[in-house]
Structure 1
């Protein structure tokens, strides 16, 4: 028999460890690393018994392993996105769906979306007040929601308006429920799950109407939206995607391509205002038509302020050998994104916000992992980076962010994503107007 070998870890009851993880999420990870090393075993309500790793070689091994040995964790976003979501699928069915969904997010297709991103950004920036401090996260959320709706559905008339009203409520509630047990009984409006399922039924009805319209559209092959591409796509055996598969995958794109991108953009505002030298360089670059430093700044925001805590796998085989550890079936193996991005051996002066570390080089995708890794790396990573690049380019071109000497904003959990506690507060002016002082009274930040 194979001997199980697990790293050390806390021995407190599961409930106590769960409270600790919620109360001091990022500090807690660092404290446990300092106490136990770069790998430790925990027992928490969401994942149960899990090995948390941050050794680069072991992380690479997890990302490269076959799904036969370790695949998606049992508790993930698939529980709220639907059984046809990429988050829920495993093995060959996951690979089959993923192959079908790759084309809209790569190559020349990305160029189609750039105009949409700029149009939505310009529209939203026109509403930003000049002078007073305000939270940018709500604005970034509206921008990214409208972008992904247009990219997915094109011009959808009344259905577009219905989804724009429904999805923020649905995604907000779903992101909180994703880590909670699914009840066996639907209590209707008396329970959060009941309210979510009611919203899901409303979403399915709207998408069902759009799918039916698309299948009747004689000009479907002239459309650039993702729904049209899905309706025209075929599996290897020639069959088409079912309506339920399309609904689940579209919800996956709408949810995954919306909240996390908006949160990263709010963090970008929060970071840049506290690093005026970098901000000044970015203004010079955007005026000159460049983009290298802006792209590097996005990478560095994602490194220093990752919006997701963990990515990982659940052991499917009798045991799974991960470097020094032999992990038994049923355990989760979780990669701590925070600890990876804090690793001094990979990112010298890791606590320093320094976009220049990525100038002239691309991040190693087994070390810089805001999108996860391996066969389950986020399908829309290139789309999200394009989106953030264009939003920041447009903002820097049209507005001046006023720097602040306030401490950085604390991390705040929104269920799935970790956002700046004050919403990425900004003070802005139109660049054609005389500059405001470098710090503004009333622009209060939270200490971190």
Structure 2
């Protein structure tokens, strides 16, 4: 069988790339309607030939594929300029397996239980400062909260001076626009604003992180510390080489980018939907009262389904490979479209309805809900993200009732960095609970 590509648009390549990066939520459904469940799109400079899949059986086929034939790290080249070559998201085969093995203990169930109290403390400090009767820009507040979680729970930064220097730098690199982020792939643009400023901020972050790593390695209380960085400094040993400073830096930046705005955006969407539906909000408040974390987690999961934050999970083929009956050439990038999978009427007949109960009733089938990818590349931080989300919801709903501002228009998404966030920052009005 001759290798070939499925049908796709004939627009100029630059136009296809721009539309995919900037307006993917409008583009992808149109392409599926016109070309069917499998189609091609060209998205240079990241992927010259991107083939998009979304049916559950096709997703299963890709996630179950041999990682030697399907390189996720190579396909994630868009992340390289920031995350670095050692990132668990950018490595493949044995190097990826080693990184994942060393990172995994910091995100297992025991570790997550240890982080929960600190996340609750951070969330409580944030929401206690909210003024009843005020309008809250949830995207801004959840970004600030998620950044504080990264700083203290992941990086373990407790020194006030380091915190004050690092926080604004981290905020700036995670809130760039999609076109600016795309430009990071073009080295010559580093001489010009805003890319020059981005790289200056990244260099300053690296200096602070390397200093923190060096100091932490010699800390007398390292074995007693429970933050992610301290845990990672203690992995490895006789049978496995420990993480180097450069590897630690890349994994920390990866955890920042993969775990900051994704969780903040999902929380913003969840709060917006709870404010929009008082019935579902009352059910969530009851879940807080009876300490039903599964029900709160279902709210987060449904927010991630209805408002997809990351568009797809990608793999680059290292050899000619048949997927869903298509013989695709080596070098092709295949995408399991999270966005389209979450908008399939076959999987979700009421696709536009915010209904967390679907995740409690057993009606969500495998390979139809994909915010954390799947297979051997499933996101290591999935449990952390859901724990953080449920903890934050608990702190908010135990204090406040939520509603939308009078005359509020339906919230829409926009692309920022590589994530989709609420365009209007998901404004809600809060009132003291019980009043």
- TM-score if structure 2 supplies the norm length? 0.93
Q: Deviations over 1:7-56 (max 9, x none)?
A: 22111211222343356421221111111111111122342211111121
Change (3 A) 1:58 1:243: same
Change (3 A) 1:47 1:277: same
Tell me the residue number matched to 1:443.
none
Q: Is the 8 A contact 2:77 2:90 kept in 1?
A: no
Q: Is the 8 A contact 2:288 2:397 kept in 1?
A: yes
Moved more, 123-132 or 325-334: 123-132
Instruction: Quote the offset at 1:357 in angstroms.
Output: 0.9
Instruction: Quote the offset at 1:239 in angstroms.
Output: 2.7
Change (3 A) 1:229 1:82: same
Change (3 A) 1:176 1:117: farther
Q: Deviations over 1:350-378 (max 9, x none)?
A: 22211111114395552210111122221
Unaligned runs of 5+ in 1: 434-448
> Are 1:182 and 2:185 an aligned pair?
yes
Change (3 A) 1:383 1:176: farther
Q: Distance in 1 between matches of 2:301 and 2:321?
A: 32
Change (3 A) 1:412 1:159: same
Tell me the residue number matched to 2:429.
427
Measured on the aligned residues, the alpha-carbon RMSD in Å equals 2.1
Tell me the residue number matched to 2:62.
62
Q: Distance in 2 between matches of 1:178 and 1:237?
A: 39
Q: Deviations over 1:52-107 (max 9, x none)?
A: 11121111111111122111215331331111111221111011001100111111
Tell me the residue number matched to 1:439.
none
Q: Is the 8 A contact 1:80 1:177 kept in 2?
A: no
Tell me the residue number matched to 1:7.
6
Instruction: Quote the offset at 1:171 in angstroms.
Output: 2.2
Tell me the residue number matched to 2:389.
388
Q: Distance in 2 between matches of 1:154 and 1:184?
A: 33
The match for 2:168 among 140, 153, 165 is 165
Moved more, 62-71 or 169-178: 169-178
Q: Distance in 2 between matches of 1:292 and 1:185?
A: 49
Alignment map for 1:60-139 (pairs within 5 Å): 60-72=60-72, 73=75, 75-139=77-141
Unaligned runs of 5+ in 2: none
Instruction: Quote the offset at 1:132 in angstroms.
Output: 3.6
Instruction: Quote the offset at 1:297 in angstroms.
Output: 1.5
> Are 1:21 and 2:20 an aligned pair?
yes
Q: Deviations over 1:384-441 (max 9, x none)?
A: 00000000011110111025674420111112110111101110011143xxxxxxxx
- Residue correspondences, number: 430
Change (3 A) 1:185 1:14: closer
Change (3 A) 1:109 1:33: same
Change (3 A) 1:218 1:24: closer
Q: Is the 8 A contact 1:79 1:88 kept in 2?
A: no
